[in-house]
Amino acid sequence: MSNGIVKIHGKEYKTVALRVQEFREQFPNYFLTTEIVKIDDDQCIIKAYAGLHKEDGQNQVFATGHAQEFRKSSQINGTSYLENCETSAIGRCLSALGLLSGGEFASANEVVNAIHQQNNPVKEMVTEAQLTVAKNKLLDASKEGKLKEAFFALTPAVQEELREYANDLKKSA
């Protein structure tokens, strides 16, 4: 990274920090603020606004940006999904102004996060109780000749755990 610009797959992306710095320098009288649209234990959605406080007390919004983050999507989001979401919303808002993106709408932060999430998927934890319930469903489905449908109705993590069990049921049918 050089001066807040990151080259990823041949394209240059500005960090959100650089976009904010440029915004403050180019538009010293403008505001940049965020609003939590939704937040719960699983996800958050944030909307960012860039605009101008007018003399009559009204706000004139020139650009907005939205972002959504899921707490379980990465290890860092486990503790900082709200902060990551706000940063993404701000970056997208500033890009929507059309002056601060460096040619790419996504910020360097978003692209790096997306690549990290693709390369490091969060593995779903499967409990013994879930496996027992799934085994019973597979056994019942096997008796009805619907093992394949029941198997593919399971989550990928449960499928991974019970693939051998399902194959044994198939052989014994």
Q: Which of these ranges, 54-58, 143-147, 155-159, has the smallest mean pLDDT? A: 155-159
Residue 17 near residue 112, CB atoms below 8 Å: no
For the chain, the average pLDDT equals 83
Q: What does the pLDDT average to over 34-42?
A: 94
Q: Which residues contact 69 (CB under 8 A, 6 or more apart)?
A: 43, 44, 77, 81, 82, 84, 85, 88
pLDDT digits (tens, 9 = 90+) for 57-90: 888 999 999 999 888 887 788 888 999 899 989 9
Beta bridge partners of 67: 46
